[in-house]
């Protein structure tokens, strides 16, 4: 049989050059950049000007500062600086009133109510007594909300979380209550510790227990 010459095969090519991204991938679609969020409206009924929230404090009162490992170069300590201590001379009968005045001054200066914890050593603050009348759970729910000044007795103050300012009223009670209140207050205060009471007693307790 005569051989039929094969017809040359013509491979079709797409006309025009094909655009190939340099990276071999399709460039992602740019996302819209959100604009600035409006500032939160001030809460009604709060004395003093509204200021931005303070820097975040420790996540939990039980969280201890990280300890450096046994090896490796030394790193700066992660623990926050000790709070500033302010003493307000007051008798046991006047310590609670002095603490209330200190709280008012803090709020007038721009501190938010949730920044402040007040610890008493004698009679509980009327607010605490009122809230405890609704039960222990309701009382601590006010603490967890963190949007108002919280008042605690020295006996349960160790359950309170850290706050920027802690105010202690040495309004009576045994010496052990004063030691407990000042020790807990010193560990919970993020920036400022205010103690209202007898200066000699405060200095002796601070020197021995803190």
The per-residue pLDDT for 80 is: 61
pLDDT at 118 over 70: yes
The per-residue pLDDT for 18 is: 52
Answer whether 91's CB lies under 8 Å from 199's CB: no
Distance, in Å, from the CA atom of 119 to the CA atom of 127, rounded to the nearest integer, reads 12
pLDDT at 177 over 50: yes
Q: What is the mean pLDDT of the chain?
A: 76
The per-residue pLDDT for 45 is: 44
The per-residue pLDDT for 202 is: 86
pLDDT (tens digit, 9 = 90+) per residue, 180-189? 999 999 999 9
Q: Quick one: pLDDT band at residue 51, thresholds 50, 70, 90?
A: very low
The per-residue pLDDT for 146 is: 93
Rounded alpha-carbon distances, angstroms, from residue 86 to 128, 204, 206? 24, 15, 12
Answer whether 173's CB lies under 8 Å from 125's CB: no
pLDDT at 49 over 60: no
Q: Please name which of 156, 176, 168, 162 lies closest in space to residue 194, comparing C-alpha atoms.
A: 168
3-state secondary structure of 147: coil
Answer whether 156's CB lies under 8 Å from 136's CB: no
Q: Quick one: pLDDT band at residue 120, thresholds 50, 70, 90?
A: very high
Q: What b-and-e string marks burial along 137-158, b requiring 16 or more CB atoms within 10 Å of the CB?
A: eebbebbeeeeebbbbbbbbbe
């Amino acid at each position: 049989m005569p051989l039929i010459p094969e017809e040359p095969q013509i491979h079709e090519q797409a006309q025009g050059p094909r655009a190939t991204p340099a990276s071999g991938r399709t460039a992602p679609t740019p996302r819209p950049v959100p604009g600035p969020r409006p500032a939160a409206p001030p809460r009604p009924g709060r004395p003093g000007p509204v200021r931005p929230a303070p820097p975040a404090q420790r996540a939990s009162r039980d969280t201890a500062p990280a300890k450096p490992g046994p090896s490796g170069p030394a790193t700066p300590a992660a623990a926050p600086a000790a709070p500033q201590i302010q003493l307000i001379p007051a008798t046991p009968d006047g310590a609670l009133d002095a603490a209330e005045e200190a709280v008012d001054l803090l709020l007038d200066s721009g501190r938010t109510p949730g920044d402040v914890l007040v610890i008493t050593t004698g009679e509980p603050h009327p607010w605490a007594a009122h809230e405890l009348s609704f039960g222990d759970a309701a009382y601590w729910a006010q603490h967890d909300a963190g949007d108002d000044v919280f008042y605690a007795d020295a006996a349960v103050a160790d359950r309170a979380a850290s706050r920027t300012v802690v105010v202690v009223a040495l309004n009576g009670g045994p010496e052990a209550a004063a030691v407990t209140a000042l020790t807990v207050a010193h560990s919970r205060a993020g920036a400022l510790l205010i103690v209202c009471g007898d200066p000699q007693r405060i200095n002796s307790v601070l020197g021995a227990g803190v």
